[in-house]
Structure 1
Amino acid sequence: MSKNNPDLIKIAIIGSRGYPYVYGGYETFVKELSERLITKNVEVHVYNQKNLFPERPAMVNGIHIHYIPTLPHKSLNQIIYCFLSLFHAAFTTVDVIFVLNLAAGPMGWIPKLTGKKTMINTDGLEWLRPKWKGLGAKYFYFGAWSATKLYDQLICDAVAMQKVYKELFNAETKVIAYGAPPFKKSEENHINKLGLKAGEYYLIVGRLVPDNNADLIVKGFLQSNSSKKLVIVGDVPYRDVYAQEIKRFASEKVIFLGYVKEADVLMSLYQHCYVYLHGHQFGGTNPAMLKAMSNQCAILALDTPFNREMLNEGEFGMFFELDSIALATEMNLIETQEEKVESFRNKVKHGLTEKYNWDVIADQYRAEFISLQKQ
């Protein structure tokens, strides 16, 4: 804490690509949390991956920025960046170091060199994700185990994830969810320009990676009797065999839009789809699902403990099994149940309780930072 302001607490946030580079879930989290914390007597330092920022101001929107070099190699990128960031932060005046990536799990000893308090957000089941086969999977499992031993406080963003850490590692964690965006009406003309009509397409939003199961969803859709279209938003920022294989299904019925960067267009796609299809398998509280809930979509989600928690065991959405034929059967059924689909659209917003409110979440994190600093 500062001598001039004894109530001020200083934190470092490490593990995202950086601020204000809003690319994915981590970056959105950093933006939403940091911009709120600095209004609550918290000094925020965010560690950015240097190569992503051609311009490097020391402060942006009241947030202190540190630029850390790393390698562009997909496997080593996070490990090198987290290692260097932790070493730097350990020798600064921050009170608490907050890490967002399990790649830094085994590095929790570094801040102990200077007595810094540490917190880590466990995120998803990284060691089960298909992209981390072999050594990568072992490293992330070791990272999760190490985090339970080396960090002062563990944060899970879902109760289901909290149970995983208790069962696997006998570790105590605190649950603070990820936040949902506010609803903002977006007109149908945005999708009309894409050749789409309201209620005449299913929607997928997410990276084209195996654990999001876009391939299974595409196959299930094509095996169904649906006369609607399937629209897929998302891609991967690198050449990838899995993504290329899925894109071979592109047709008049299966439409790949890639990244949709215009917020109004993306919100319009959510708000006017017939059903949002959610195949994410290994995460906790999923940002794309929260956007679907915020935009009042009828949701058909893969049946996982995480998705069940978010949709309150089916109160706010429907589920399908990890099988393309089972999905096709569900899609055939819901197309005969338009009243049921409309009912889910009307009530899904009620699932966004204070648990998913960014202002509440920022207050929860601030309380945890202060509690840690006083220990």
Structure 2
Amino acid sequence: MMLARNRFIFLVVVAAVLAIVSLSAQFLHLIPVAPVSDERPLGKSRKRVNPVPHTEPPEPDPIYEAHAYCNTPSRTELAWEGHSPAGYKLLSVQVMIRHGDRYPLYAIPKTKRPTIDCTLVPSRRPSHPQLAAFISHMTHAGRGRWDSVLGSLPRFPTHHACEMGELTQTGVVQHLRNGEILRTVYIKRHKLLPADWSSWQLYVESTGKSRTLQSGLALLYGLLPEFDWTKLVLRHQWSTLFCGSSCDCPIRNQYLEEEQRRQYKLRVADTLLDRTYVDMARTVGVPTRQLRAANPIDSLLCHFCHNLTFPCTAQGCLTMEQFAVIKRQQMEDERDRQQRGLYLRYALLAAHPFLNRTAARMLRVADGRQEELFALFSAHDVTMAPVLSAHSV
């Protein structure tokens, strides 16, 4: 269907690395660029200092990719957000985000969990000028209208010792900055929402995890500082695929099983990866199978992104070289996945309900019917991956 010349509808998707990507290939990408000092403090320190690369290496580099994944808030790089062909007008924006930086979901057996404080402290880095105001505003969340599942969740992280999967201060700051960027483009430049916006003009939906809800609230606050809680309706999405009432799809599950078999075959054929897991298991003193099941890359990424030394035992420490081997295999898996195309078949079916619902909303706006002008969906990696893959991103 062709839209009228003066109607430009823009679908924005935020990728797993928190890049904001649209269907028209406009994007925003945040990567760590601020150099970190190599000077070591006197005395013993558990802090590891990682030099941050400034330019992309000529060949795929696992450590560079890990830095990009960390997405530590530093300098923002803008691209084509809000740009449109001459004669077109922006009518609505649909945003899907992956939650911000979180504490690991898995623990490496017989090692100390990473020591991270998940309370929000504006004076602690990384921070944001609006962080203190965000914390204060969240204390009035009871004025909003909440689906029951979301209403019982905390509005921001509060534990001094992070719980498994809890959003960190870095994660909150990431989305405050994303919201601030979207505010500059869509509120200030395009005047998408009026100052006296109404409830029907804003749509917010989140899964039932505190990290997704809190990430969505952080982005929303960056977009609309001091927003009116009484106008806000927060809706719960029970499925991580955001498929609503259209989740039953046996062939989709079959494609996913085929993709998982491809992943497994690629991993078992990687002898360097296997030797690395054997060495790591020997270091921590557990069977190799148990270490693999603990998904150690999840915890190691947390250590890496927060500049913490990797876990140690009496037998030694896990190393950067071992970390790089696992990251390298993940990069090879991604290349093989794109070449084989098995995941794409799954992704097209997995993303279809959400994209179909989004397209219907956009068409209603194009037809001039009363519809949300800004829709925000706060989700997970497993949500973003099929949506992006379905658009060849």
TM score, norm. by length of structure 1: 0.36
TM score, norm. by length of structure 2: 0.35
